[in-house]
Structure 1
C-alpha cells in the first residue's frame, strides 16, 4: 500500500460534509452550494502537491487500488468526492451540462471506483442525447456496485439508468430486462414500474 490505510486525509471534515448532506436533503440549494465550495477549498488546501490524490470510501477499495499502481498518492476522505458530486448535481439542475461533465471528469480522476459518479455521468450523457455513451457509463456503475460493498446502494439506480438509455435507443426488450432486474434490488420501485408500463404502451403501438 502507498500509505497507511487509516485514516484518510481530511477525515476531520466529516462533520462539515454531514452538514452539507443535511442541506441537500432539505433542498436548501444556495446554502449547500456555499458549503460545498468551502469544503472543497478546505480539502484542496490539505493536498500534498508532490503526490496524486485519490478518494476511496473503504479500506478495501484503497487496498485493491494500491496494488494496481506504482504512483505515490495520498488517500483523501470520501467527503471530497461528495462535495464535488453535489457541485455536479447543481450544475445539472441549472442545465449547465458542460460544467457538470467537467466536474464529473474531475471526480473520475480522483475517485476511480465511484459508482455514483459513473451513474451521474450516464445521466448527463443521456440528457445530451448520447445514449450509447450513457449506457456504457451506467454499465460501469453497475459493475462497480457489484464489485464493492460500499457501492452497493447504486445497484438498482444503475440498472434503471441502463434501462432508460435502452429506451432512448428503442431497444425495448433489453430495457425491460434491466428494469425487471432493478426490481430484484429495489422491489416496488415506482420509477422502474412506470418505465415498464411505458414499454408496454410503446409495444402496443
Structure 2
C-alpha cells in the first residue's frame, strides 16, 4: 500500500502500546522518549493521513472510538477502511514527554509537525493548549492563557466526529485556563460541561475548588487534581521523585540533595500563594514589593520541571533581580556568579547561593537575560 507501509503499521502498534502506559508510574520515560524520537525520524516526507486506493477510502484513526464516531456522524457514502495511526500520535506522545520535562521549544516543534500531518486532530490541538498553559505559567502572563484557551476551543470543535473523551479534554483545558484568568463562572461552566461528555475526578476536584473560591473570595486556589498525583501532598518527597523520574537519567543523577529542600519550598509557595507564604515565613518573604510574577514563575518551573540545578535544565524568563528574589524566598543569598554556555549554546548564568541560616550552598542556573530576546511563545 503506497501510503501505509509495513513499517508504519508496526510503528502504529508500538505507539498504541506506549499510549497505554505513558501516564502510569511504571512508564519508562527515557526508553519511550528514545523510541518515539527514532520513530519521529522516519516520518515519510509524502505522509498522508487519508488516501484513496482502488475505490476504497483509507483513514488513519488513533483509536476505535474515532472510527465509530466517524461512521456514525459522517455516514460516508463510499467504503472506509480504518488504519491504525502512527506518526501524528507519535508527535503527541513525544510532546507530552517534552512538556513534562519543561522543554517547551522542542515540544512546540514536535506538535507543529503533528498538526502538519493531521491539522484537525483534537488531541494534538489540546496538547498545544497545554503547551500554551506551560508558557503562561513560565512567563506568569495572563495574555498567554488566552492563547491557550483558544487552542482548547479549537480542539473542541475541530471536526464533527470528535469523541466524547476528546471534547471533555478540551473543555477541561478551557476550564483550567479560566481558573488562571480568575473567571470563576466560566471555569465552572466548562468543567460542568466536560462532565456531560466524560466522568473525571480531575474535573470534580477543580469544580470543588471553584465553588470554594466563589463562596469565599479570600480562599487560595491551589492545585488538587490537575498537577499532582491523587493522595500525595504537593510538597512530598514522593511527588518530588515522581517528577524526577521524568528527567533523563544523566540529569537525574546530578540532582543535589539540597535541591529537594528548595523544591519543597517552591511547591508550598505554589500551593498556598505568596501572601500566605509570607505570613508564615520567618523573614516575611517574598516581600510584597518584589517581582512576584517572576518569583511565582520561577517557583512553577522548579515545582513542575525541577529546573535550575543544571545548565542543560536552566530556569527561564527571569531577570537577575527576579532570580535573586526567587531564591531569597527560600532563604538563600547570592554569593557569586559566572557565565557559562550549555550544550544548546545558550548563555547561562551560574549563581552560587548560601543558606541564610545553616550555610548550605548550591549552584543554580538560569538563562541569562537578553533585552533583544523574545519569549518563545511569541512565535504564536
Coarse TM-score class (shorter-chain normalised): 0.7 to 0.9
Deviation at 1:77, TM superposition (A): 5.8
Partner of 1:148: 161
Deviation at 1:17, TM superposition (A): 2.6
SS at match of 2:99: helix
Count of aligned positions: 179
Partner of 2:19: 21
1:112 partnered with 2:119: yes
Partner of 1:180: 192
1:133 partnered with 2:147: yes
* Structure 2 gaps, min length 5: 50-59, 75-82, 137-143, 218-380
Please list, as runs of the form range in 1=range in 2, the aligned pairs for 1:1-205 lying within 5 A after superposition.
8-9=4-5, 10-22=8-20, 24=22, 25=24, 26-42=26-42, 44=43, 46-48=44-46, 53-55=47-49, 56-57=60-61, 78-129=85-136, 130-144=144-158, 147-149=160-162, 151-187=163-199, 189-203=200-214, 204-205=216-217
The 8 Å contact of residues 164 and 197 in structure 2, kept in 1 or not, is answered as no
With over 3 angstroms needed to count, the CA separation of the structure-2 counterparts of 1:22 and 1:35, relative to structure 1, is farther
Deviation at 1:92, TM superposition (A): 0.6
The 8 Å contact of residues 14 and 79 in structure 1, kept in 2 or not, is answered as yes
The whole-number CA distance in structure 1 between the counterparts of 2:41 and 2:203 is: 38
Question: 1:21-43: CA deviations, max 9, x gaps?
Answer: 3553541111111211222234x
The whole-number CA distance in structure 2 between the counterparts of 1:100 and 1:121 is: 9
The 8 Å contact of residues 20 and 35 in structure 1, kept in 2 or not, is answered as no
The 8 Å contact of residues 8 and 77 in structure 1, kept in 2 or not, is answered as no
The whole-number CA distance in structure 1 between the counterparts of 2:10 and 2:27 is: 25
Deviation at 1:142, TM superposition (A): 0.8
Question: 1:71-127: CA deviations, max 9, x gaps?
Answer: xxxxx9621111111111111111011111121111111111210011111111012
Larger relative contact order (Cα-Cα within 8 Å, sequence gap ≥ 6): 1
The whole-number CA distance in structure 1 between the counterparts of 2:158 and 2:193 is: 16
Name the one with the larger strand percent.
Answer: 2
The whole-number CA distance in structure 2 between the counterparts of 1:33 and 1:202 is: 39
Runs of 4+ in 1 over 6 A off after TM superposition: none
The 8 Å contact of residues 16 and 39 in structure 1, kept in 2 or not, is answered as no
Bigger-Rg structure (1/2): 2
